[in-house]
Structure formats: structure tokens, C-alpha cells
Amino acid sequence: MSNIVLQDIFLLLILIGLSIPLGRYIDRVMSGQRVFLSRLFAPLEKGAYRLMGIRADEEMSAKKYALSVLVFSLTGLIAVWLLMVLQGSLLNPEGFSGTSWHLAFNTAASFVSNTNWQAYSGETTLSYLTQALGLTVQNFVSAASGIAVLYALIRGFVRKERNTVGSFWVDLTRITLYVLLPLSFIVAILLVSQGVVQSLGAYHTVSALESGAQQMLPMGPAASQIAIKQLGTNGGGFFGANSAYPFENPTVMSNIVEMLSILLIPSALCVSFGRAVKNRRQGTVLYVVMMLLFVGALIGITLSEANGGITLSGVAANGNLEGKEVIHGIGASSFWGAATTAASNGSVNAMHGSFTPLGGLLLLFLMQLGEIVFGGVGSGLYGMLAFVLLTVFIAGLMVGRTPEYLGKKVEPYDMKMVCLVILIPPLLSLLGTAVAVMLPAVHGWLTNSGAHGFSEVLYAFTSMANNNGSAFGGYHANNVFTNVLGGAIMLFSRFVPMVAVVFLGGNLAKKRQVAASDGTLATDNAMFTGLLIGVILIIGALSFLPTLSLGPIADYFTTR
């Protein structure tokens, strides 16, 4: 256990150490300043703008910004769908044929919305071309879109009496070129050095040592996709078993690189935010809130996995190893579980369906909080900022003053947008679950019976409605109902809040800056930190306690 504690502290310290310089760098990139990579990429950037027919200083209204996000994402949706359905012989050594229309829709929606829910196994379904040109590209741009929209909101706080929130094309291009591509390249090479495969050759066949039976070893351009899947909080595995599969994550070091990559950009963005609004303490408060919620969940999950599972006579008690790789053990599997559900990543290095009931409950709850504990890149922080506005609003009601945050008055229009951001994911999680459990066919899709079976359904729709993408693997997801409903849920829960956030930013940008007075609620101290955590937990608990009682809590009390 002391190893695990040391390991957790070590990982979090490295994370904090890396996130601060990266956060500063991202803010320089997003505010259009020159950075050290400009020398290399500036000509490329200019060329790209010329092709798009735009100028770098051309700004957009909120409406145009939001429309650009939607049109761009729709382009990606159509491209991935076509690539999957029409999958041909190009870069397809195993000769996989096109997929069903509904699986293609689900997957396209999933990758465009940064969810990466997967109802298929990559190694038995997709050509290398689909993986690289379809899915890898969406890994990049869905992450970049999240950060772009975050900055549209941040500009709303910073600007005074302006009608524009930046240019989506410039934001998207700069974040991809200067942040995501170089970071992914480094991480990809680190992963290959550990044994993550990266080849365009055909699958290997070997005969096994003892039986001589043929064993198929899948290959592919995996490391390049896995790097951005972690950095961009996408999470979709190149292979079906995701990062539990040794070709995705073979060693202790690869595991550390991937775990840190999951949390790196979401935490760095807290630093970027503090710098962008010229008030670093505001960024620090959000970082602290996320970290406290994360550490709380991490402790709970680790304890539950270390002490849970079945004790049988004649077996050494070693915690719950079911669904976990020996090399990652209880410690690194619990850390990964907490990180991937907190940060809206959804990749796994252990099977979440085989976590203990209470460990599984915390994984679920981290998603149900709305993916704001670090959360998706960009989307986590704009979700957290929605909760900040809600907290300011509630505090304002208590003392009878107009609420304000960062010098901007929070008014009814803003609160309507905040409600869209906060309420859509829980609404869709619960509606999806409710519809699914009423179907007679649902029994055929479950592996577990009883309360854990219900948890499989709840987890599936929570994961899709919060753009996470991980699963209780016992749920057989590749059917028309789950593919179509789930695809629609992923799109709605991604793009309705996104558009609301852009409009919120647009509305805030139009406002005057009001000077702080004695009556202004301070949002950078311990009291506000506590208040914010309280609001987050209360909203999450109010939305989900009934379903959690039917699932993991009942599971805990009715099984051993």
C-alpha cells in the first residue's frame, strides 16, 4: 500500500510540475503570440489560412463561431461515416469490409464528440486508413474544438463591450499545430520505445510454443493514435481491449506516460485560464477544486479495489485483480480509473465492469459530476466555469445582490446558457438509461445479472451522455438501438452545451466590466472553493442518487 501512496503522490507532483509551463505556453498560443515553434510552423499556419480564405485577425460573432464549430464537426461526422461504410482495400492488409450504417454512425458521432465510445474492436473491424485518416484526425480536431470553445468563453470574460469572441478557424489551427501535434509526436515516440506497435504491415501469425496453435498478433499505426487519444481526452482504443492490451500499454513507463497524458492538458488549462483572465488565483482555485475532488475519488477507488473482491479459502488475499493487468496492479489501475473517468477520457487499462461495486460507483460518479473534474480538454474547464457561475448565482441569491464573476454581471440570459451546459448531460444519461431498461431486448445485451446488470446500462448511458466513452464491458453495445440512440445522445450532449458556451461567451463579451466593491463575492478564497465543491456535489448527488442506489449501492449491499 505504501508503494501505491508514493506512486500516486509522485504522479500528481509530476503532473503539477508539467501543467504549469504547458498552461503558460497554451495561453501564449491561444492569444496569438509568437512561440518557439512559430519559426517552424508559422509558414504552414499562413498557408492554411490562405487555403481557407480567411485572415488571422478576422473575428467572429458568437453566432458565427458556433455555426463554424457545428459545420466543421458535421464535415468530420460525414467523413468518418463514409470512411467506415466504404472501407476499401487501401491500407487494409486484413481486408476488412465496410461496417454497418449504424455502427458507422455511432462511431462517427462518438469520435466527433470527443467521446470515443466504441461498439467495435479496432483490430477486427477497421482498416489502417480508417484508423489514421478517420479516427486519428477526429482525435485531434475534437480535442482542438473543445479548447477553442473554452477560449471563446474566456474571451467573453476578458473583453469589454465587444461583439466578437475570436476566430474558430484560427483557434482550431493554432491549438492543433502548436500544442497537440508536437506533444503527440513526443508521446508517440515515448510509447513506441516501450513496445507500443507502430507499423503499416500486416498482422503477424506465430505458432505457440506449447501447442503450436496459430496465434494472430494485430499490428497497425497504434502509437500515433494512442498519443492523441490520451492527450486529447479522447480515449478510443486502437485495439478492442484499449490500454489494457499490451500492444497499447506494455510497461510501467508507458502506463505512466499515458496516465499523465490523460490529465496533462485539462490541468494545464486551469493555469492558462488564470493567465488569460489576468488573475492567476482564479485559475488556481479551479485547479484546487478539481484536484481535491480527484484525490478524494482516487483514495476511495484505491481502498475499495485493495480491500474488495471475494475472499476464498486457499487464495492469498491480494485485492481485486479481476480485469486488471498484473504489471499495473491495484495502484496504477485505480489511478488510471480515476483519471480516465474524471478527465472524460474513457480509455481503460483495466476492465471497469470488474471493479468492486464501490470502486465502480466512484468511476460512475466522476462522470456524473458532468466531466468537470479536469474533464475533457477545454470542455472540462468550460463545464467547471458553468458551475462557478451557478455557485456565484446561488451565493448572490443568498445575500440579495446581482451576482458577478471576473467583473461581469451574471444575468438571466447567462444563467439560461449555464443551465443548458449543466443539465443536458444528466438529463440524457437518465433518459437513455430509462429507455434502455424498459426494452425487453436489454437482457440479451447484459453479462451480469441483478444490480450489476443495471449498472452496466447506467454506466453505458452515463458514459455516452458525458462524452467519456469508457464502458462496463459486459454491455453488448453493437446493436441498432444503442448505436443510434447513443450516437444521438453523444452529439446532443457535446454540441448543445458547446453552442451554449459560445453564446455565453458572446453575451459576456458585450458587457461592461464592473469594478469590484465591498459587496462583491470573492471567488479566489477557501470559502468559495468549499462553496463550489458543495454545489458540484449537490447537483451530482441530486441527479443521480436514485439510480446509483439501484445500481452500485444495491450491488454492494446484496453481494458479498
Asked if 402 and 396 count as a contact pair (C-beta separation under 8 A), the reply is yes
All cell numbers assigned to 152? 471563446
- CB closer to another protein out of 207 and 517: 207
DSSP state of 350: B
Q: List Cβ neighbours of 473 (8 Å cut-off, separation of 6 or more).
A: 351, 352, 353, 447
Instruction: Tell the smallest beta-carbon distance from residue 167 to another protein (Å).
Output: 9
Structure-block grid coordinates of residue 439: 426494452
- For residue 186 the three cell numbers come to 513526443
- Nearer Cβ to another protein (61/513): 61
Structure-block grid coordinates of residue 347: 480509455
Q: State how far the Cα of 384 lies from the Cα of 267, in Å rounded to an integer.
A: 12
Per-residue burial over 93-107, b = 16 or more CB atoms within 10 Å of its CB, e = otherwise: ebebebbeebbbbbb
Three-class DSSP labels, 293-312? HHHHHHHHHHHHHHHCCCCC
List phi, psi (to 5°) of 402. Answer: -65, 125
Stretch 447-486: interaction string toward another protein, x if CB under 8 A = xxxx-x-------------------xxx------------
Q: How far is the CB of 275 from another protein (least distance, A)?
A: 26
What is the closest distance, in whole angstroms, from the C-beta atom of residue 250 to another protein in the complex? 5
Here the cell at position 344 is 472524460
**How many CB atoms are located within 10 Å of the residue 406 CB?**
19
> What minimum distance in Å lies between the beta carbon of 330 and another protein?
8
Phi and psi at 227, nearest 5°, equal: -60, -50
Contact pattern for another protein over residues 200 through 219, marking x by CB under 8 A = xx--x-x-xxxx-x-x-x-x
Within residues 374-403, the interface with another protein by CB under 8 A covers: none
Interaction residues for another protein, span 97-156 (CB under 8 A): 132-134, 136-137, 139-141
What are phi and psi for residue 136, nearest 5 degrees? -60, -40
By CB under 8 A, what part of segment 256-295 binds another protein? 256
Q: What is the closest distance, in whole angstroms, from the C-beta atom of residue 393 to another protein in the complex?
A: 33
**Of residues 416-435, which lie at the interface with another protein (CB under 8 A)?**
none
**Could you say which of 244, 262, 277, 372 contacts another protein (CB under 8 A)?**
244
Q: Which is nearer to another protein, 180 or 269 (CB)?
A: 180
Under a CB-based contact definition with an 8 Å cutoff, are residues 418 and 389 in contact? yes
> How many whole angstroms from its chain centre is CA 300?
21
**Shortest gap between Cβ of 359 and another protein (angstroms)?**
9
62 binds another protein (CB under 8 A): no
Q: Name the phi and psi angles at 193, rounded to 5.
A: -60, -25
Residues 540-559 that bind another protein (CB under 8 A): 555-556, 559
Nearer to another protein, 87 or 173 (CB): 173
Question: Which C-beta is closer to another protein: that of 287 or that of 475?
Answer: 475
Under DSSP, is residue 252 helix (H, G, I), strand (E, B) or coil? helix
Q: Does 53 bind another protein (CB under 8 A)?
A: yes
Q: Which stretch binds another protein (CB under 8 A): 95-103, 252-260, 407-415, 527-535?
A: 252-260
Q: Select from 246-254, 389-397, 415-423, 427-435 the region that touches another protein (CB under 8 A).
A: 246-254
Q: Least distance (Å) from another protein to the CB of residue 54?
A: 5
Among 23, 156, 221, 370, binds another protein (CB under 8 A): 221
Interaction of residue 498 with another protein, rule CB under 8 A: no
- Taking the least distance from each CB to another protein, the nearer of 225 and 391 is 225
Residues 347-376 that bind another protein (CB under 8 A): 348-351, 353-357
Contact flags string 172-201 toward another protein, x per CB under 8 A: xx--xx--xx--xx--xx--xxxxxxxxxx
- One-letter amino acid identity for 207? S
Minimum CB separation of residue 2 from another protein in Å reads: 8
Interface region with another protein, contact rule CB under 8 A, candidates 23-31, 61-69, 101-109, 265-273: 61-69
Question: For another protein, what does the binding mask look like between residues 33 and 52, x meaning CB under 8 A?
Answer: -----------x---x--xx
d(CA 322, CA 354): 6
DSSP SS3 for 215: strand
**Residue 298 in contact with residue 338, Cβ under 8 Å?**
yes
Q: Are 30 and 147 in contact (CB under 8 A)?
A: yes
The 8-class DSSP code of residue 234 comes to: -
Q: For another protein, which is the closer residue by CB, 133 or 439? A: 133
d(CA 489, CA 74): 15
Which of these segments, 103-111, 275-283, 329-337, 489-497, binds another protein (CB under 8 A)?
Answer: 329-337
Cell of 555: 450491488
CA atoms within 13 A on the CB side of 365: 27
Q: How far is the CB of 552 from another protein (least distance, A)?
A: 10
